[in-house]
């Protein structure tokens, strides 16, 4: 049972996710097209998106670790400030240097579906502090669904570009959309400032410092060493296979609007509604996955739908018409990304409470580094005329991910018990989670 005041804070976090995802959805559709109008090549666009992913990966680890000690809230609000500054820069200038800085800070065009960039570990740990362990699979899935829904609405707004293209011709027609993250980011700063977050306890910080010093000196108790060793193994396993999945996603998603435009000759008026339907369907899939985690566990829920998505991905580049590609894209995204919330719930369940920020950081870092390479590789392949190869590589990587995810984490799954309460396996030493 979640107390009313905690429900209010959860609602604030979820509302901020929806607002954030509006601008992300609009710019996911239009940002690569905007850069194309400005004369950027596919390789240059991919390189810029890769740079943004590298920035996120580089800062996610220190943010997660520091948020364990300093609290989650300052980092999440700080990222919103960055979004506002980035949107303001992009709104007033199309100079390549300004666009580069704005894109990196604001994660423009990267399909973040409501995530907070390098502050994502802090946000995930903040939500975990508010939600009881048995409910996390479902709540995280609902949270992801809200991000998908907001991104879908934002994608629809991208379809407005042709309406004012007569007044603002060429690249200028895309720039009004930067008002969206500017306004929603400002609203989120106010909204999150009112949300309460658990302050790090001084006693816990003192114990952490003693444990850290003891760890350097090799003086941790055998029990604590065993707990940390098992937690670290879990985190590294998840990080290794997440890297594989992230590379697959980054080869296909960031430049997909460019791929649609280059292959089928369509623009934001056609692509925007397709993305909107895609994210609405993915949100519904996330809700269904969240319910499935209560019945069959997180791992089995993830594996089943991810392997089905591989089959769709193999067919996708062959279709000759835009409407066929659109239908397959909707289906693939619903199967593939609908498990996002469940996977986030697993990552915070692998360690004890005081190491959640660290675990989320490793998770983000393992996804961010490969994600930073994918758009650059995809851009180079598209420039060379290899329009199908990125999808084949991605399908192979995601197939391996599904198999390895099931084999490595089935024993760590949060599984239903006879009394209806979830049982989370884990370290059985005194003071640790089961």
pLDDT by 10s per residue, the chain, length 434: 566 667 888 899 999 999 999 999 999 889 999 999 999 998 999 999 889 888 888 888 788 778 878 888 999 999 999 999 999 999 999 999 999 999 999 989 887 778 888 888 888 888 888 888 777 777 888 888 898 899 999 999 988 888 888 888 889 999 999 999 999 999 999 999 998 876 665 444 444 444 444 454 456 678 878 888 888 888 888 888 888 888 888 888 888 989 999 999 999 889 989 989 988 988 888 888 777 777 777 777 778 778 888 999 999 999 999 999 999 999 988 888 777 777 777 776 777 776 776 777 777 777 777 777 888 888 899 888 899 999 999 999 989 988 998 888 877 665 554 444 544 444 434 334 44
First to last CA, the chain: 20
CA–CA dist 47, 391 (Å, integer): 19
Rg, the chain, Cα only: 21
Give Cα separations from 307 to 115, 145, 291, 355 (angstroms): 24, 20, 19, 31
Structural domain for 150, as ranges: 4-195+221-423
In CATH, what number is assigned to the domain containing residue 146? 1.20.1250.20
Question: How many domains does one find in the chain?
Answer: 1
HSE-CB of 213 using CA atoms within 13 angstroms: 6
pTM check: above 0.95:
no
Question: What is residue 115's three-state secondary structure?
Answer: coil
The answer to whether position 430 is within a domain reads no
The answer to whether position 213 is within a domain reads no
CA–CA dist 200, 346 (Å, integer): 23
**Nearest-CA neighbor of 8 among 187, 196, 200?**
196
Q: Which two tokens stand for residue 110?
A: 């990267």
SS3 content of the chain, % helix, strand, coil (to 5): 80, 0, 20
Given a contact cutoff of 8 angstroms between Cβ atoms, the answer to whether 259 and 387 are in contact is yes
The answer to whether position 293 is within a domain reads yes
CA–CA dist 162, 93 (Å, integer): 21
The answer to whether position 80 is within a domain reads yes
CB contact set of 167 (below 8 Å; sequence gap of 6+): none
CA–CA dist 123, 107 (Å, integer): 16
The answer to whether position 433 is within a domain reads no
**Nearest-CA neighbor of 343 among 176, 141, 193?**
141
CA–CA dist 23, 333 (Å, integer): 19
Q: Which two tokens stand for residue 128?
A: 């975990």
The answer to whether position 215 is within a domain reads no
The answer to whether position 167 is within a domain reads yes
The answer to whether position 87 is within a domain reads yes
Rounded to 10 deg, the angle between the 73-92 and 179-194 helix axes is 160
**Hey, how many other C-beta atoms are within 10 angstroms of the C-beta on 201?**
11
**Backbone φ/ψ region at 297: left (φ over 0), alpha (ψ -120 to 50), beta:** left
CA–CA dist 416, 293 (Å, integer): 8
Estimate to the nearest angstrom the gap between the alpha carbon of 394 and the chain centroid: 17
**Backbone φ/ψ region at 39: left (φ over 0), alpha (ψ -120 to 50), beta:** left
Token pair 């995601």 in the structure block, residue: 398
């Amino acid at each position: 049972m979640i107390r009313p005041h905690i429900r209010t804070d959860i609602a604030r976090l979820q509302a901020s996710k929806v607002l954030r995802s509006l601008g992300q959805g609009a710019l996911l559709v239009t940002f690569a097209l905007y850069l194309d109008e400005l004369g950027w090549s596919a390789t240059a666009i991919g390189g810029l998106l890769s740079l943004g992913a590298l920035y996120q990966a580089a800062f996610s680890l220190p943010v997660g670790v520091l948020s364990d000690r300093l609290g989650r809230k300052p980092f999440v609000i700080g990222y919103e400030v960055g979004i506002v500054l980035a949107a303001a820069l992009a709104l007033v200038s199309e100079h390549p240097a300004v666009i580069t800085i704005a894109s990196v800070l604001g994660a423009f065009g990267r399909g973040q579906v409501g995530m907070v960039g390098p502050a994502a570990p802090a946000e995930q740990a903040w939500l975990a502090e508010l939600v009881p362990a048995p409910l996390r699979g479902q709540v995280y899935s609902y949270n992801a669904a809200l991000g998908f829904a907001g991104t879908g609405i934002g994608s629809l707004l991208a379809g407005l570009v042709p309406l004012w293209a007569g007044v603002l011709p060429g690249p200028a027609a895309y720039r009004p959309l930067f008002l969206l993250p500017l306004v929603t980011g400002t609203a989120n700063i106010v909204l999150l400032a009112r949300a309460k977050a658990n302050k790090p306890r001084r006693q816990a910080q003192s114990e952490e410092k003693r444990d850290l010093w003891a760890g350097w000196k090799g003086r941790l108790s055998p029990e604590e060493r065993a707990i940390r060793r098992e937690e670290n193994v879990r985190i590294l396993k998840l990080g290794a296979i997440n890297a594989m999945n992230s590379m697959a996603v980054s080869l296909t998603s960031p430049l997909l609007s460019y791929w649609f435009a280059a292959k089928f000759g369509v623009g934001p008026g056609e692509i925007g509604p397709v993305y909107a339907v895609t994210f609405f369907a993915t949100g519904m899939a996330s809700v269904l996955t969240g319910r499935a985690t209560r019945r069959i566990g997180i791992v089995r829920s993830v594996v089943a739908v991810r392997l089905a998505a591989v089959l769709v991905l193999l067919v996708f580049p062959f279709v000759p018409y835009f409407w066929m590609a659109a239908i397959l894209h909707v289906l693939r995204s619903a199967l593939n990304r609908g498990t996002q919330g469940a996977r986030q719930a697993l990552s915070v369940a692998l360690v004890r409470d005081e190491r959640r920020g660290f675990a989320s950081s490793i998770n983000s870092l393992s996804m961010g580094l490969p994600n930073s390479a994918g758009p650059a590789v995809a851009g180079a392949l598209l420039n060379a005329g290899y329009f199908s190869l990125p999808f084949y590589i991605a399908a192979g990587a995601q197939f391996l991910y599904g198999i390895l995810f099931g084999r490595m984490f089935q024993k760590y799954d949060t599984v239903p018990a006879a009394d209806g309460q979830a049982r989370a396996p884990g370290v059985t030493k005194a003071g640790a989670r089961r």
